[in-house]
């Protein structure tokens, strides 16, 4: 059995976002239990030159909504990137999940050779669909989710590998 472009993207991204949402729920409860402002975690970073947690989540959702939209040949939705609370970040995740759920496999399958052009940091990048998904979108998705996890773990949130992996289906 072969793995399709859809199977390698949409279900995996939804699963990861659901796990991320569950971790954020734990983070909000942690801040409440420890009696500190949740914004401390939302604005936390691992190192001064790294993006804070809020931006990690914004990039996570941007890379996958853009990735799937480009593979399907539809317009990439634009989000404001103005979330400052766990509730707003949860809403962004839910909006991204809903967007991903709107795709059917036939919209993405067969996009392996499709030419994808985008600007990243002012640089034009060109890919074929499959390398775009496998070497750009998926690694970026996991990098920013992992960094979010690391920020929260560094700040004392009691989460582990199973929180990151979620329910294995």
Domain layout of the chain by residue ranges: 5-165
Rounded to two decimals, the pTM is: 0.95
Using DSSP, how many helices (H) and how many strands (E) does the chain show?
Answer: 8, 2
Quick one: CA dihedral 101, 19, 26, 136, positive or negative?
negative
Residues 119 and 121: their CA atoms lie apart, in Å, by 6
- What pLDDT digit, counting tens, does each position of 2-24 carry? 889 999 999 999 999 999 999 99
pLDDT reported for residue 63: 97
Residues (pLDDT < 70) of the chain are: 1, 169
Q: Are 164 and 17 in contact (CB under 8 A)?
A: no
pLDDT reported for residue 95: 98
pLDDT reported for residue 1: 63
pLDDT reported for residue 168: 79
Residues 98 and 115: their CA atoms lie apart, in Å, by 26
Q: Does domain 5-165 have CATH number 1.20.120.450?
A: yes
C-alpha pair distances (Å), 121 with each of 7, 83, 86, 124:
29, 22, 27, 8
Residue with tokens 């839910």: 94
Q: Are 44 and 52 in contact (CB under 8 A)?
A: yes
């Amino acid at each position: 059995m072969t793995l399709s472009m859809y199977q390698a993207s949409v279900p995996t991204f939804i699963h990861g976002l659901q796990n991320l949402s569950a971790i954020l729920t734990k983070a909000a409860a942690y801040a409440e239990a420890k009696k500190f402002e949740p914004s401390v975690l939302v604005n936390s970073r691992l190192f001064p030159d790294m993006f804070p947690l809020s931006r990690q989540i914004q990039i996570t959702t941007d890379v996958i909504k853009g990735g799937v939209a480009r593979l399907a040949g539809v317009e990439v939705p634009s989000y404001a990137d103005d979330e400052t609370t766990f509730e707003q970040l949860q809403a962004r995740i839910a909006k991204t999940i809903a967007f991903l759920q709107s795709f059917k496999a036939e919209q993405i399958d067969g996009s392996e050779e499709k030419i994808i052009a985008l600007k990243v940091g002012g640089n034009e990048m060109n890919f074929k669909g499959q390398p775009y998904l496998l070497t750009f979108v998926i690694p970026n998705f996991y990098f920013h989710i992992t960094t979010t996890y690391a920020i929260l773990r560094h700040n004392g949130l009691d989460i582990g590998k199973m929180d990151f992996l979620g329910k294995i289906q």
